[in-house]
Structure 1
Amino acid sequence: MNERENKIDQLTAKLEELSKRQGLFQRDIDALKEELDMLRYAEPSFKPQAEQPLVAKAPEVLISAEPPKVVVARTITPPVTESAKAKKVFNLEKFIGENLINKIGIAVLVIGVAIGAKYAIEHQLISPLTRIILGYLMGLGLLGVAIRLKKNYESFSAVILSGAMAILYFITFAAYSIYHLLPQELTFAIMVMLTTFTVFAALKYSMQVIAHIGLVGAYAVPFLLSKGEGKVAILFSYMAIINAGILVIGFRKYWKALYYSSFAITWLIYMSWIATKYDMAQHFGLALTFLAIFFAIFYTTFLAYKLKRLEKFVITDVGLLLLNSFLFFGFGYGILVDHPLGGQLLGIFTVINALIHFGVCTVIYRLKLADRNMFYLMAGLVLTFITIAIPVQLNGSWVTLVWAGEAALLFWIGRTKNVTAYEWMSYPLIILAFISILQDWQGAYGQYMSTIDYTPVFNINVLTAMLFVAAMGFIIRINHTYQGTQEPNGKGGSVFIAIATPAIMLIVLYSIFSLEISEYWNRLYASSAIELKEAGLDYAETYYNNDLGYFRTIWQIIYSFAFFSILALVNIRWFKRKSLGYVSLVLFGYALLLFLFYGLYILSELRDSYIHKELGLYFKHGGFNVGIRYIALALLGVLYFSIFKLLKEVLQNKALRVTYDIVLFTSIWWIASSELINLMDLFYFENPYRLALSIMWGIMALLFIIWGISKKRKHIRILAIAVAGITLIKLFAYDMSHFDTIAKTLAFVSLGILLLVISFLYNKYKHFIFDDNDTNP
């Protein structure tokens, strides 16, 4: 035992020694790592105290019993100079003094010259020639100052030069348009020279401010001096010269702000002129000519720099190209449509748009001048305009088709080719197409008092709507197909495509046939007008067949039942989407409330019309006035069935099933009451239907109780008790004062018996009802 214990003690001591040495080794390793890090990250000029290589020192450290001395390296931080601080901190004073003040100053100077010129003109202070000479001297003087300062003060010189060019534009326009001192040829020669020089200066300085103030600022010249002479040809020629200068810049520089400004100003001026001053007899050719010139200049400007440098088009570039194309097409269509000959050329004009984009697309493809996004965009424009050429030639629903087709195309390119910009651009186009189709309907429907021929269903309005629905369905399909592979559109885009686009598609699909039903019956109603002159009156009164208006409403309700039922069943069969299921529930609630509160009233009016046959010599009141009631009830039953299946197979929500039961039994009670009144009216029973209602409500309360007990549905039993309570209130509050003795007796006895039966059932099955929990619906 002693030998064994000695052995244990020896091993324990050795283990403790090894543990100590392990701790020392770990400390040595940590110290070496720290020293190595210090040597790596210290300043290059700093030399550590230990110059020996670590490899030579390592063995000594590893075998040393004492912890090594760690050499701490100091990190020397270079001082922060004033220039470095200036780079990091934005200097507001510097910005205002060097940048902002000079721009404000030159703008104020130009405005001052304009105001002074107007004052001198209005008060005849100096002769026209003197005014022009002084203006040129001021402009040229500023130009000389700018050139003089360019070497040492380039930024300041650029601002001065910009103001000088704006003044020279100003004076040249005034000399020609107001004072008639310059002939037209010389005026445009001077403006071309000024534009050329401004373009040259902008490129020489490589500063966008020159182009902004010198070119875009020149747009204000005609308006500052205008007295309403309406010289639109001169104005548009002037604008074309300025835009041509911007086009030249576009081949060398890509100054977005310059393009945006000139683009917006040009089209706003053109749009305002079209809206307020355009006269087809005087301006038809002029409007089309300058429309084409502006479109061509901006089209080339937006392509020039990108194609030259083979740069990728971003969303703003694509947006401007599309907007420019549709402005050209929209204004061109508006000019042509009212012209006797132009109205026949709308289809050709659309094809011309397609050919323009096809030419550009071909050049881009063959010469490989741009990225694939640009090629897809041009190809999309070609397809869009070719697609709508025939509808444009036949009808004015072109805007809807353009936007819907373009939205589908852009979404397809964006999602399948993973080009996010295109997909985002499709979203506003979807909204615009939806607004456009609403405007189309506003102009197409509700004109039933006119004599215009109308073909139900098979007309351009339905065709346009179906093409719109097809475009939206295509977008939804693409979204579903590529949803699992990529999500380039972000959360907002996903929500829009998943919710807004299907909603828009369903609204259009539902509305178009609802509008067709309304239009059909409204036209029948309008054509049923007859004039009758009553005895003793000097004038004839106009009468209409009111049954036709009632049929319009009830057929729209029946159509709603059918549409919402199909929607729910399609969701059950193919999509199984809960979001669409909740939409179906909302639509079901809307249709049900409409029928209960308004549809049953309309049906009662049709029944009364059939019974009394008002103006029967002139209007036909057939048995269908009553028969349509049962068509409506049958379709409501189908809708209830589809919602039941939806709750069971898709939504699977217990609370919703309880709500469904309550709504169903309430509807049965409501409709049964209406049907009782209907039958009693048809069989010419008067007043006793009040008594019959009380008795029927009591019977229904009993039946609801039996159903609630047998199916263990607490909510049905509570509904039955509520019906019984309403029946009692009616009995005491109404029946007591309106019934005779026999009717009162019958009502009270019947209801009393029914209530007793209900109480008996509760007592007989109380263990079945209350001891166990109610089953789930």
Structure 2
Amino acid sequence: MTYPLIVILIVVFIIIFYNLNNRIQRLEREISELNRKIQTPGFTQIKEEQHVQPVVSSIKEEQKITAFEESKVTEEAPVIPEKDWLTPIFDFLKQNALTIIGIFTLVLGIGYFVKYAIDRNWIGETARVGIGLLVGGAIMLTGHFLRKNYTVFSSIITGGGIAVLYFTTTIAFREYQLFSQNIAFVITCLITLISIALSYYYKSEVLIIFSLFGGFLAPLMISTGQSNYPFLFTYLTVLNIGMLIIVFLKNWKSVGWVAFLFTNIYLFYWTAEKTELLSIYFYIITYIIFYAFALQNYIKKGILPSYDILMLVLTNFTSIIGLVYIFNTLQYEPVIVFPIGFALVNLFLLFKEYSKKNFGVNYSVFAGISISLITVAIALQFKTHLITSVWAIEATLLLFIWKKTNLNIFKICFYILFPLVIIAQIMTWAKYVDAKNLAIIFNPVFLTSFVTVITTFTNLILLRKLPDTNKKNTDFFENVFTIVSYGIIYVALLLEIMYHISDKTWIVIFSIAMLYSLYYIFCILLFRRKLDIHSILETGLLYLFLLLIIFNTLISGSGIISNFLMGKLHLSFYGMHLLYWIPFIYILVKILPKSDFFTIVLSYWVVALAFITAVSAELYHIYLIINANGISEVAKLGKHFRILYLPIIWAVLASILIYRGLKTNTTEYTKIGFVLIAFMILKLYTYDVWEMDNVSRIVAFIILGIILLLSSFLFQRLKNIIKNMVENKEENNETENTKS
């Protein structure tokens, strides 16, 4: 039943194809007849007479509009928008998706047919290879006949034929052993040369991409598992030189990028699997080839398009990673010879631009690359970790070029590379766990972190100075980048501090970490204007600072006092702990009044909570230092402080808050003061009174009563003063109105 059904389907397909072909031919004849009529003199004259007046008037109108638009363009001088590099790719895929799927399906169908014939023993091994070669040649011949009218279609068809030839040669060598590896390699080289020649002859960039894919995959197809890297890279070098010649002749940039990708994959694999000195020569040759590729437009036209700049950056830094890795693994010195050598190449080009007094994009690119390479050399000389340092500097270079050119491709590359920098830096920080006896500051881990810190801070400055980056126009990714950047700087310095105090007790480590955190946030807030900190980030940092104040006083202070009373810490450490009051007071007095922090009502309560907690806790700690003779007395003294002194402290603080609220006309402070008094009275009458002895109860009530009376008197006096001020102001306004 299967074979008749297949025959029927084939017949139906032929009939449908025949009918469609006849309709297309009829349509082509009608179009050609219409074109012939249009080109006749009489027809043209009639049409011209009918449309001459409207056309003339429309031309005049268009000229007026064009003149107006040109004058407007001259006045406004708009920036030419950057071309979307993805659009041509999507257009190509939309127009040729069916062709690509079709040739892929055809190749698969031929493969399944050959497999079916092999399973049935219809053909032998030699015949199978012959069929594959004939089919590949037939497909390429079909593409050849279609090339005049269907250029892209014929290129894809021809590429499919080349793929059939490659796979046939691979199967003949690997599965059937019909010829040796050398013959198989010669055949694949011939296929590559033929395909490149056809690409050049047909002037088809699509076809040469197919050819390059086959050329770079050919060594894998005929590989026997033995690593003959010198032979492999000699072949790749010849292939890349051919690529370079074609690029200079045809300016097909995509060909160079395909070659760059495959070459670096092979190079890095060789370097990782078998690190040897010989690979250095191939790294240098590859660097020269792709540097010449990147400078093609610069040599011909004196310009550097965006993708050429990106190739310059990638060529320099991928070569450095491989070369320095080889030197470090084989323990050769000095490792800086390669970044310095590459820097000299770029400095030569920089000097060329400087001598021409051309300080445009080219000058900025060569200057940025040169400075970055010299920075890499310095970092590597101090034994920093290779990948982290190179990626961090490369990310900054991409951001610098983005700033100079305003091309989004460098913005995209920067945002892709920067997360990799973070991952590499986290892996570098992990070295602290197993590291022994690292020197202070001058150790590989911290020096690597220092490079990342400097580059990250540079990124923040560059990002702030970009034309489309300001407080009113800061997008989500830039806000996230800012937060992450300050986080990297914070963690880098914190881990170095904690490593060198890791032998101390937990409370010392925690207290120093908290003090460092508070001062770090304080420094950011202190220079918030110069750092161009966004108002949202500033508010978040203020909230974080106040919450850390609460945790610091409750945990660090109590822990330090406990260890002091147990004889484990000196009293001077508590004095160091109190240094957090310097930034705390400065923020309360200088920064908070000038910020947007109090746009939220909750902010008043957070500030008051932090201030009340800090004052109460530190007075409690001082009370213990003065009165306690050992850790055993803390419970008793703590209870006495909470019952007798804490209500007095809260009453004083409540009075201060009420006074502050009345003076600044801030109702929230007044509310907080009264809430604190209410809470204190509730605590006094529900708990404290029943825990006191008679003398303490009398003293507490007397002192508390006096404080409440004074607070009430102060409140009434301020209320009258404010009332009189308001009345005097109204009278003055009425007097002025009367005079006027």
After TM superposition, the score normalised by the length of structure 1 is: 0.67
One of 344, 350, 366 as aligned partner of 2:339: 350
Are the counterparts in 2 of residues 106 and 160 from structure 1 also a CA contact under 8 Å? yes
Aligned residue for 1:384? 372
Q: What is the 5 A alignment of 1:267-416?
A: 267=264, 273=269, 278-280=272-274, 284=276, 297-304=289-296, 306=297, 309-310=300-301, 312-337=303-328, 339-341=329-331, 344=333, 346-354=335-343, 361=349, 373-374=361-362, 376-378=364-366, 380-406=368-394, 415=403
The residue matched to 1:637 in structure 2 has which SS? Answer: helix
Pairing 1:600–2:554 present: yes
The residue matched to 1:590 in structure 2 has which SS? Answer: helix
Are the counterparts in 2 of residues 694 and 731 from structure 1 also a CA contact under 8 Å? yes
CA distance in 2 between counterparts of 1:721 and 1:745 reads 24
CA distance in 1 between counterparts of 2:583 and 2:721 reads 33
Q: Which stretch shows the higher mean deviation, 740-749 or 550-559?
A: 740-749
Are the counterparts in 2 of residues 441 and 461 from structure 1 also a CA contact under 8 Å? no
CA distance in 2 between counterparts of 1:141 and 1:517 reads 71
One of 691, 694, 705 as aligned partner of 2:647: 694
CA distance in 2 between counterparts of 1:493 and 1:431 reads 22
Larger Cα-atom Rg = 1
Aligned residue for 2:195? 198
Q: Deviations along 1:525-554, whole A, 9 cap, x unmatched?
A: 3xxxxxxxxxxxxxxxxxxxx3xx212222
CA distance in 1 between counterparts of 2:355 and 2:106 reads 48
The residue matched to 1:251 in structure 2 has which SS? Answer: helix
Are the counterparts in 1 of residues 376 and 389 from structure 2 also a CA contact under 8 Å? yes
Aligned residue for 2:104? 107
CA distance in 2 between counterparts of 1:326 and 1:356 reads 14
Aligned residue for 2:669? 716
The residue matched to 2:330 in structure 1 has which SS? Answer: coil
One of 556, 579, 592 as aligned partner of 2:513: 556
Q: Which stretch shows the higher mean deviation, 313-322 or 141-150?
A: 141-150
Alignment length (residue pairs): 639
CA distance in 1 between counterparts of 2:427 and 2:525 reads 29
Alpha-carbon offset, residue 449 of structure 1 = 6.4
One of 505, 514, 522 as aligned partner of 2:494: 514
CA distance in 2 between counterparts of 1:665 and 1:101 reads 69
Pairing 1:425–2:410 present: yes
Q: Deviations along 1:181-214, whole A, 9 cap, x unmatched?
A: 4445544443333222212211221122322334
Task: Provide closer, same or farther for how the CA distance between residues 745 and 299 of structure 1 changes in structure 2, counting only shifts above 3 A.
Answer: same
Pairing 1:453–2:453 present: no
Task: Provide closer, same or farther for how the CA distance between residues 752 and 227 of structure 1 changes in structure 2, counting only shifts above 3 A.
Answer: farther
Task: Provide closer, same or farther for how the CA distance between residues 762 and 490 of structure 1 changes in structure 2, counting only shifts above 3 A.
Answer: closer
Alpha-carbon offset, residue 724 of structure 1 = 1.0
Q: Deviations along 1:678-697, whole A, 9 cap, x unmatched?
A: 23433136231222223332
AA paired with 2:330?
A: P
The residue matched to 2:721 in structure 1 has which SS? Answer: helix
Are the counterparts in 2 of residues 132 and 175 from structure 1 also a CA contact under 8 Å? yes
CA distance in 2 between counterparts of 1:774 and 1:580 reads 42
Q: Deviations along 1:648-690, whole A, 9 cap, x unmatched?
A: 5x54x69469988765554443223213432343313623122
Are the counterparts in 1 of residues 241 and 289 from structure 2 also a CA contact under 8 Å? yes
Are the counterparts in 2 of residues 403 and 429 from structure 1 also a CA contact under 8 Å? no
AA paired with 2:314?
A: L
Aligned residue for 1:636? 581
Task: Provide closer, same or farther for how the CA distance between residues 142 and 521 of structure 1 changes in structure 2, counting only shifts above 3 A.
Answer: same
Are the counterparts in 2 of residues 165 and 194 from structure 1 also a CA contact under 8 Å? yes
Aligned residue for 1:56? none
AA paired with 2:208?
A: A
Q: Deviations along 1:482-503, whole A, 9 cap, x unmatched?
A: 87xxx48899997699967766
Give the unaligned 5+ runs of structure 1.
1-41, 49-72, 79-94, 526-545, 614-620
AA paired with 2:167?
A: F
AA paired with 1:316?
A: Y
The residue matched to 2:674 in structure 1 has which SS? Answer: helix
Alpha-carbon offset, residue 167 of structure 1 = 2.4
CA distance in 2 between counterparts of 1:113 and 1:152 reads 26
Q: What is the 5 A alignment of 1:212-291?
A: 212-217=209-214, 243=240, 245-265=242-262, 267=264, 273=269, 278-280=272-274, 284=276
CA distance in 1 between counterparts of 2:497 and 2:589 reads 28
Pairing 1:731–2:684 present: yes
Q: What is the 5 A alignment of 1:147-186?
A: 147=144, 157-186=154-183
Are the counterparts in 1 of residues 557 and 577 from structure 2 also a CA contact under 8 Å? no
Q: Identity across aligned pairs (percent)?
A: 23
One of 205, 208, 212 as aligned partner of 2:205: 208
One of 603, 616, 623 as aligned partner of 2:570: 623
Are the counterparts in 2 of residues 695 and 750 from structure 1 also a CA contact under 8 Å? yes
Give the unaligned 5+ runs of structure 2.
1-45, 59-91, 729-740
Alpha-carbon offset, residue 741 of structure 1 = 5.3
Task: Provide closer, same or farther for how the CA distance between residues 340 and 117 of structure 1 changes in structure 2, counting only shifts above 3 A.
Answer: farther
CA distance in 2 between counterparts of 1:362 and 1:720 reads 67
Task: Provide closer, same or farther for how the CA distance between residues 207 and 46 of structure 1 changes in structure 2, counting only shifts above 3 A.
Answer: same
Pairing 1:677–2:613 present: no
Q: What is the 5 A alignment of 1:430-509?
A: 432=417, 436=421, 439-440=424-425, 442-444=427-429, 447=432, 450=435, 452-468=436-452, 470-471=454-455, 487=467, 506-509=486-489
CA distance in 2 between counterparts of 1:594 and 1:169 reads 66
The residue matched to 2:250 in structure 1 has which SS? Answer: coil
After TM superposition, the score normalised by the length of structure 2 is: 0.70
Q: What is the 5 A alignment of 1:128-147?
A: 128-147=125-144
Are the counterparts in 2 of residues 250 and 302 from structure 1 also a CA contact under 8 Å? no
More helix, by proportion: 2
Q: What is the 5 A alignment of 1:520-535?
A: 520-522=500-502, 524-525=503-504
CA distance in 2 between counterparts of 1:492 and 1:113 reads 61
Q: Deviations along 1:555-591, whole A, 9 cap, x unmatched?
A: 23333444444444445xxx57774676555434323
Aligned residue for 1:54? none
CA distance in 2 between counterparts of 1:297 and 1:690 reads 79
Q: Which stretch shows the higher mean deviation, 756-765 or 311-320?
A: 756-765
Task: Provide closer, same or farther for how the CA distance between residues 698 and 179 of structure 1 changes in structure 2, counting only shifts above 3 A.
Answer: same
- Pairwise CA RMSD: 4.9
The residue matched to 1:447 in structure 2 has which SS? Answer: helix
Are the counterparts in 2 of residues 565 and 643 from structure 1 also a CA contact under 8 Å? no
AA paired with 1:455?
A: A
